[in-house]
Structure formats: structure tokens, C-alpha cells
Amino acid sequence: MPDPLHTDPLHTDALYDELLDIALEAARRAGALLRDGRPADLGVAATKTSPIDVVTEMDIAAEKLITGFIGERRPDDGFLGEEGASVEGTSGIRWVIDPVDGTVNYLYGLPAWAVSIAAERDGEVVVGVVAAPMRGETYQAVLGRGAFNNGERLRHRPAPPLSEALLGTGFSYLADRRAAQAEVVRTLLPQVRDIRRGGSAAIDLCDVACGRLDAYYERGLNPWDLAAGALIAREAGALTGGRPGRAVGHELTLAASPALFAQLQPILDELGAWHD
């Protein structure tokens, strides 16, 4: 017998509506906790890949809030969270969560941080929400329905000539990888308008979606860094990918308008932006 979850479009629409509503409310609650509950003496609770790759107590509290809220409403779903949430689930839905994307910004009191929540259905991202409380903005997308910021439909910026393109990027917290990334920037910078380093991959991807950046690239992203933002960028009309013929991922993530994507992807590949 066919699976009605996969063959009934009304069921799919209702499911995606439910997932979006849950993601929006979970992101709103976590964003309020992080914005209003940040202690003045916030410190590092743990480190990850290096001594400068940090976790704060608020990262942990926000992930607990998100997984608890979602788990009460959809107890059979799976989870993958940056701060350790890992549940297999049995429903075919998995939530990919970064409770604070831009933790170092958050630690220092800089505003460029976000809550990123994506829902995958059988491995494909179908819902993405990125809440940036210090901007007062919430970005959202559902597969096939477009992308929005505070209810306003998003559209990527038309591709400029490469020499006039404003790029975003990010850097690893591993010293050897940072050195390789610096070499890519050294070569690429004279070819473009400028390069920005914002400190939050989720926000950078949303900035491509809303036209504040012409393109964004980075090596070393994890699923929770990019799942929601990449869907939002695609639903705003941008292309996303890695090396030629490959999807976004840890090796390389690139998001840009189609014409600019076609120019940048081979350049980044040739410069070795995908390896250390």
C-alpha cells in the first residue's frame, strides 16, 4: 500500500505547515531566552575543535529549550543538534538545530548571532527558520514555497560583475585551516568588491537570500550551520553547492545568484577553498 505521507499532497502541506509553526515558535522562544537571559558575566562553558571554538551555558540552555519544545509536540522525531542532541527518531522527520549560530559573537556581545532550526523529511530539508533577535528579523522557508523575512518575500540580488560582487565568508577555528583560508582570501579579494566576515553562517546565507550579500562561501560547515540558511537562500532563488557537481557540505558551501555562482564555483575550486 502506498505511504499516504508521501502521496497525499494535502497531507504533505499540512505536515509542512505544522513543522514550520513549531520551528518558528521554538526559534522565537530560544531567541528570547538568549536575548533577554544573557548574563553580564557570560563565560565559556566548554570548547570543541580548539580552545577558541567555544560553547557557552546559554548555547546549552537554548538547545535544551528547543529540543524539549519540539519533543513535546512531535515525540517520534529525530534530532541533530550542535550541542549534542542526537536522537534517531521513527517518523522520518529530523530536526537539525544550531541554538546559537555565531557563539563567539554572542559571547562578546556582538549582534550577529542567530537561532537556526531546520526540519528534514527523509533526509531532505523541507523547512528552515533562522531567527536573528538582535536584528528583529526571522527568516523562513518551506520547500517549494519561497523564502520570507518577517512576512516579506525574499529575492536574491541580481548578479553583478565579479569585480563588483560583495562576498561573505567565514574562518575555521583550526589554525592550519585558517591559514589556508587566508590564502584563498588573499587571492580572491583583489578580484571582487570586498569580502565580509560576519561570524554566523546562518545569517550570511540569509543575507544572500535578501540581497545584502551577492555571494557567500565557506569551508568546514556542519549540517546545523547550513541546513536552514541554505534552504532559505535556495527558496529566494539563489544556487547553493560545493565543489562542481557536489552539494553544500563540510568540504565547501557556496551560495550566490545563478550567474555569479557559475563564475565563483570554478575560481574557488581552483584556489583550493575546499581543502586545507
List pLDDT tens digits, range 200-230: 999 999 999 999 999 999 999 999 999 999 9
Per-residue CA distances from 232 to 154, 209, 218 (Å)? 9, 6, 17
> Residue 8: what pLDDT?
52
pLDDT at residue 7 tops 60: no
Domains of the chain: 4-153 (3.30.540.10), 162-271 (3.40.190.80)
pLDDT at residue 6 tops 60: no
Which of 270, 93, 128, 274 minimizes the C-alpha distance to 206? 128
> Residue 43: what pLDDT?
83
**What cell does 135 get?**
536584528
Average pLDDT, the chain: 94
Q: What is the pTM of this model?
A: 0.94
87-125: b (≥16 Cβ within 10 Å) or e: beeeebbbbbbbbbbbbbbbbeeeebbbbbbbbbbeeeb
Mean pLDDT score, 242-270 = 97
> Residue 4: what pLDDT?
41
User: Model confidence at 11, in pLDDT bands (50, 70, 90)?
Assistant: low
Q: What percent of the chain stands above pLDDT 90?
A: 87
Q: What angle do CA 143, 257, 113 make, to 5 degrees?
A: 70
List pLDDT tens digits, range 57-113: 999 999 999 999 999 999 999 999 988 888 999 999 999 999 999 999 999 999 999
List pLDDT tens digits, range 114-130: 999 999 999 999 999 99
The residue count of the chain comes to 276
Identity at 102, one-letter amino acid code: G
List pLDDT tens digits, range 154-194: 999 999 999 999 999 999 999 999 999 999 999 999 999 99
Residues contacting residue 4 through CB under 8 Å, at least 6 positions apart:
11
Angular region, 89: left φ>0, alpha ψ -120 to 50, beta rest: left
- Report phi then psi at 256, rounded to 5: -170, 165
Ordered DSSP codes for the chain: ---HHHH-HHHHHHHHHHHHHHHHHHHHHHHHHHHHH--TT--EEEESSSTTSEEEHHHHHHHHHHHHHHHHH-TT-EEEETTS-EE--SSSEEEEEEEEETHHHHHHT-S--EEEEEEEETTEEEEEEEEETTTTEEEEEETTS-EEETTEEP-PPPPPPGGG-EEEE---SSHHHHHHHHHHHHHHGGGSSEEEE-S-HHHHHHHHHTTS-SEEEESS--HHHHHHHHHHHHHTT-EEESSTT--SSSS-EEEE-HHHHHHHHHHHHHHTTT--
pLDDT at residue 2 tops 50: no
State the first-to-last Cα distance of the chain, in angstroms, to the nearest integer: 49
pLDDT at residue 1 tops 50: no
**What cell does 206 get?**
540569509
> Residue 270: what pLDDT?
98
